[in-house]
Chains A and B, each alone.
Chain A
Amino acid sequence: SQKIEQNSEALNIQEGKTATLTCNYTNYSPAYLQWYRQDPGRGPVFLLLIRENEKEKRKERLKVTFDTTLKQSLFHITASQPADSATYLCALEADYKLSFGAGTTVTVRA
């Protein structure tokens, strides 16, 4: 069956450190992978999209990698700040629709 797995544990890190989140998938062959941020009580907000032929994409302090051989995407937040505290969702393109992971909650301590 198809499965998307994100870090099962919440991630607590010190301000200024790099947070690394994983998104592993099975029985998918996505052409695109997206990452979203969700704050409590709000809808998800799009952050980044990466294509299967792109190894890495950056946006400000965010970096995403996409390894179709390992069937994994890594999401990095560098120089983390307390304002980065949120839940981060990965989403895979499947049959022209998006399938979402359950998310990883990141808490950045000042």
Chain B
Amino acid sequence: DAGITQSPRHKVTETGTPVTLRCHQTENHRYMYWYRQDPGHGLRLIHYSYGVKDTDKGEVSDGYSVSRSKTEDFLLTLESATSSQTSVYFCAISESGQGIDEQYFGPGTRLTVT
């Protein structure tokens, strides 16, 4: 497996609370991504980063923010969690962002918002 870890792996939180998910890589890849996966929707891109402090929005970015202060870490924050954000969250990395590169995925974080 590519050196990608996600923490926590499971989390249950209450509506309205802030939540931060962490992705850590040891591959020194430039690009990092946050996806959510829900039944029937496949993987949907939330935000991505193309370098330290360089981030951009994906398809479903509302209610989420990200930060990347170091090459190896990419944080996803839900400022005020809602039940619609219950999902499985995957972090991924790639060497370039051209779509030609394969993406390496982390093990996922299962988030439940009650």
Contact = CB atoms under 8 A, between A and B. Distances in A.
A93 B107 CA distance: 23
Interface in B94-114: 97-100, 102-108
Contact of B45 (A30, A49, A97): A97
A32 B99 contact: yes
A97 B105 contact: no
Interface string A34-67: 1000000111111001010000000000000000
B44 to A, nearest CB: 8
Interface residues on A, range: 20 to 34
A43 B99 contact: no
B99 A31 contact: yes
A87 to B, nearest CB: 10
Given A41-B108, A89-B43, A101-B42, A96 B102 contact: no
A9 B108 CA distance: 25
Nearest to B98: A96
Interface residues on B, range: 20 to 34
Contacts, number: 56
Interface string B63-103: 00000000000000000000000000010100001111011
B99 A96 contact: yes
Given A44-B105, A45-B105, A97 B42 contact: no
B102 A89 contact: no
A102 B37 CA distance: 9
Interface of A: 4, 30-32, 34, 41-46, 49, 51, 89, 91, 93-94, 96-103
Closest 10 CB pairs of A and B: A93-B99, A43-B105, A46-B102, A102-B42, A100-B43, A100-B42, A44-B105, A32-B100, A32-B99, A43-B90
